Structure 1
């Protein structure tokens, strides 16, 4: 019998390339999420530090102008935190979309891999039957020659 050949190997190869590409894109999306989380945390830390400094200075007594300056600075940082949080949410959503694409590509690839495995098993069964038939014919021919 001829060597096993899976007719959809080129499709399987393509699906694997798509999966590999999507996995790379997903990894990059996760890295962007991590970087954005760090940016947001940095602004939150800055806010906490300015707020603590403001409270300490206010306890010691500061001018109204200085207090308003701190308040303005804190409001700016609050807007920065909100902006960074919104950007983080957008990046998380984009990463989730990539994750779903990776999962679907994995399913598509796995379906073809299972089909290939089944076709290989069927091929191997056919080879085994062919070999058994050949052996039976050989034994039958040998018996026929011995008896004849």
Structure 2
């Protein structure tokens, strides 16, 4: 009997490539989320150090211009942090969309894998039936020859 050939092997390989590509895109999006989180954390630390410096200026007494400068810098940084949080939410949403694509691509590939496994089992069953039929025929022929020889 001929060797097992899965007729949808090329399609299954293509689906595997699609899955790998989508996984890579998802990983890149997760990296962007992590980078944005780090950027926000750095901005928060900068804001904290500005607030501490502002407290020192308050206690030491300084001109009103310095008070206003610190106050404005801290407020501007707070607005920037809020804006970066919005960008982070967008990045997380895009990453979640890509995660859904990964799951869908995985499900799609698994359909072809399960179909291949089922076809392989059917093939093995047919091979076994053919071998059993061959053995039965061989035994029957051997028995016939013995009867004819006697």
Aligned to 2:8: 8
Aligned residue in 2 for 1:101: 101
Provide the residue aligned with 2:69 in structure 1.
Answer: 69
Structure 2 match to 1:53: 53
Measured against aligned partners, the alpha-carbon deviations of 1:16-61 in whole angstroms (never above 9, x if no partner) come to: 1100110111111111111111111111110011011111221222
Which residue of structure 1 lines up, in the alignment, with residue 142 of structure 2? 142
Deviations 1:72-111 (A, max 9, x none): 0011101110111111111111111111101110011011
Aligned residue for 1:2, secondary structure, equals: coil
Segments of structure 2 that go 5 or more residues without pairing to the other structure are none
CA–CA distance in structure 2, aligned partners of residues 52 and 114 of structure 1 = 62
1:38 maps to what in 2?
38
Q: Matches of residues 76-87 of structure 1 in structure 2 within 5 Å? A: 76-87=76-87
Q: Which 4+ residue blocks in structure 1 deviate beyond 3 angstroms? A: none
Please state whether the residue corresponding to 1:4 is helix, strand or coil: coil
How many angstroms apart in 1 are the aligned matches of 2:56 and 2:99? 46
Secondary structure at 1:5's aligned position in 2? coil
- Which position in structure 1 is the counterpart of 2:111? 111
Alignment partners' CA distance in 2, 1:22 and 1:97:
11
TM-score (norm 2): 0.95
Name the structure 2 match of 1:26: 26
Structure 1: unaligned runs, 5 residues or longer? none
